[in-house]
Amino acid sequence: MSESPFAARLQALERESLLRRHRIVAGPTGTRVRMNGADLLAFCSNDYLGLANHPDLVAAATAGLARYGVGAGSSALVTGHMEVHEALTEALARFVGLPRALLFSSGYLANVGAITALAAPGDAIFSDALNHASLIDGCRLSRASVHRYPHLDLAALERLLAGTPAANRFVVTDLVFSMDGDLAPLPALVSLCERYGAWLVADDAHGFGVLGREGRGSLAHFGIASERLVYVGTLGKAAGVAGAFVAGPRDAVEVVLQGARTHIFSTAFPPALAHALAASLEIIARDEWRRARLAALVARLRSGVAGLPWRLPASETPIQPLIVGENAAALALSDALRARGVLVPAIRPPTVLPGTARLRISLSAAHSLEDVDTLVAALREAAAAEAARA
């Protein structure tokens, strides 16, 4: 028997400290997670508002189960789109102030579906170099020509827009970059798109619920409205549940509905979760204190890590990236924190650029200031231990 061709590939990943593993977590998510018999203080979830295990959402999901059952039974365009999905879809469009929305089962599926439905071979897509994998995959699958521009470099983007004759042009971007926490300059992007007759496909996975008045997201944060904008919001992060939506002008959303294979050929979203999301939207809008708490936690962390040997690039969002550099060093720092009861996973390429492996610290309104102090103390101890070894 010859050796499996996969063994060598796995060994190469192991050698480069790139092997990924599931961590098995016991019980619900939260700021404390039980893993391998240890209770850890965790800074790794995207549950920014602390809603994933909120009793009102659990109650709404439970009531939804009793009303609608567990499964949708078929895709949305057969019989899977129930009244509860329609009500949620309308509520989401109202929530972000756009004419119409379309529900997807995840953000990955929404991005792939929206881009492939809107852009076609012969069209041109302009994509920020640090965009999320789901946007990148949507661009590739659309078979449009894809032009990457350096992260946030609007001068480079403008040169590309000016120099590309394609009739249909799309600028695709994260609004809050998922591994750095920085914001795309939405007003400038919108005006560029309007000036060059391009469409902006904007992914607000980390802004929805977190930014703007009542957590209405990046459009509210910047006070932006544009006929040229197609918005993607995801519902598994700050909203605490699962799913995503695409929203924008009626005809653009209709084109996504007609063309998104990830919507057409996939079982509709579980109806009980759509019911839970209605409750989530109410809490997001009502609980301003959750966003105020996040801002206080961000400030506490940023002042706490000053003077440590790792760089913490500017970020006003709950995503705080501590840049370590090499993969093995990021893994070692993550292990050192874990030995001190704190869980912050290392993020490595290809999720981030080579040489920028990092601890992606993410904060939640469910954290306390003392939790952040515990993290900072663990980082200081790890830095001191590292200095003693060197």
Ligand X SMILES: *Cc1c(COP(=O)(O)O)cnc(C)c1O
The residue among 351 and 374 lying less far from ligand X, judged by its C-beta, is: 351
Instruction: State the nearest-atom distance from the C-beta of 233 to ligand X, in Å.
Output: 10
**Contacting residues for 313 by C-beta, under 8 A, at least 6 apart:** 180, 181, 182, 321, 323
Instruction: State the nearest-atom distance from the C-beta of 368 to ligand X, in Å.
Output: 25
Q: What is the Cα–Cα distance from 247 to 235, expressed in whole angstroms?
A: 13
Instruction: State the nearest-atom distance from the C-beta of 234 to ligand X, in Å.
Output: 4
Instruction: State the nearest-atom distance from the C-beta of 114 to ligand X, in Å.
Output: 11
For 228, the 3-state DSSP assignment is coil
For 95, the 3-state DSSP assignment is helix
Gyration radius from the chain CA atoms = 21
Binding residue (CB under 6 A) for ligand X from 45, 142, 173, 178: 178
Binding residue (CB under 6 A) for ligand X from 173, 234, 320, 364: 234
**Terminal alpha carbon distance of the chain:** 47
Instruction: State the nearest-atom distance from the C-beta of 348 to ligand X, in Å.
Output: 16
The residue from 54, 206, 263, 275 that is catalytic is: 206
Binding residue (CB under 6 A) for ligand X from 182, 203, 287, 371: 203
Q: Does 182 bind ligand X (CB under 6 A)?
A: no
Q: What is the Cα–Cα distance from 373 to 385, expressed in whole angstroms?
A: 18
Kindly tell me the number of DSSP H helices and DSSP E strands found in the chain: 14, 14
The residue among 161 and 232 lying less far from ligand X, judged by its C-beta, is: 232
What are the φ and ψ backbone dihedral angles of 133, each rounded to 5 degrees? -55, -35
Site for ligand X, residues 235 to 254, rule: CB under 6 A: 236, 244
> Which of 81-89, 199-207, 214-222, 319-327 is the region at the interface with ligand X (rule: CB under 6 A)?
199-207
Instruction: State the nearest-atom distance from the C-beta of 131 to ligand X, in Å.
Output: 8
The residue from 45, 127, 178, 226 that is catalytic is: 178
**Of residues 85, 151, 114, the one with CA closest to residue 232:** 114
Q: What is the Cα–Cα distance from 198 to 124, expressed in whole angstroms?
A: 9
**Annotation says 206 is catalytic:** yes
Mark 84-113 with x for binding to ligand X (rule: CB under 6 A) and - for no binding: ----------------------xxx--x--
**Of residues 226, 229, 227, the one with CA closest to residue 204:** 229
Q: Give burial (CB, 10 Å; 0-12/13-18/19+) of 58.
A: middle
Residue whose structure tokens are 């610290």: 361
**Of residues 340, 335, 326, 334, the one with CA closest to residue 373:** 340
Q: Does 174 bind ligand X (CB under 6 A)?
A: yes
For 10, the 3-state DSSP assignment is helix
The residue from 221, 237, 275, 367 that is catalytic is: 237
Instruction: State the nearest-atom distance from the C-beta of 388 to ligand X, in Å.
Output: 37
The residue type found at 115 is: I
What are the φ and ψ backbone dihedral angles of 259, each rounded to 5 degrees? -115, -10
Number of residues that bind ligand X (CB under 6 A): 14
Mark 354-373 with x for binding to ligand X (rule: CB under 6 A) and - for no binding: --------------------
Taking CB atoms, the residue at the shortest distance from ligand X is 107
**Of residues 84, 83, 134, 379, the one with CA closest to residue 246:** 134
The residue type found at 352 is: V
The residue among 164 and 351 lying less far from ligand X, judged by its C-beta, is: 351
Q: What is the Cα–Cα distance from 320 to 182, expressed in whole angstroms?
A: 9
Q: What is the Cα–Cα distance from 378 to 304, expressed in whole angstroms?
A: 11
Instruction: State the nearest-atom distance from the C-beta of 304 to ligand X, in Å.
Output: 25
The residue among 45 and 226 lying less far from ligand X, judged by its C-beta, is: 45
The residue among 110 and 272 lying less far from ligand X, judged by its C-beta, is: 110
The residue among 57 and 376 lying less far from ligand X, judged by its C-beta, is: 57
Q: Does 134 bind ligand X (CB under 6 A)?
A: yes
Q: Which residues bind ligand X (CB under 6 A)?
A: 106-108, 111, 132, 134, 174, 178, 203, 205-206, 234, 236, 244
Active site residues: 178, 206, 237
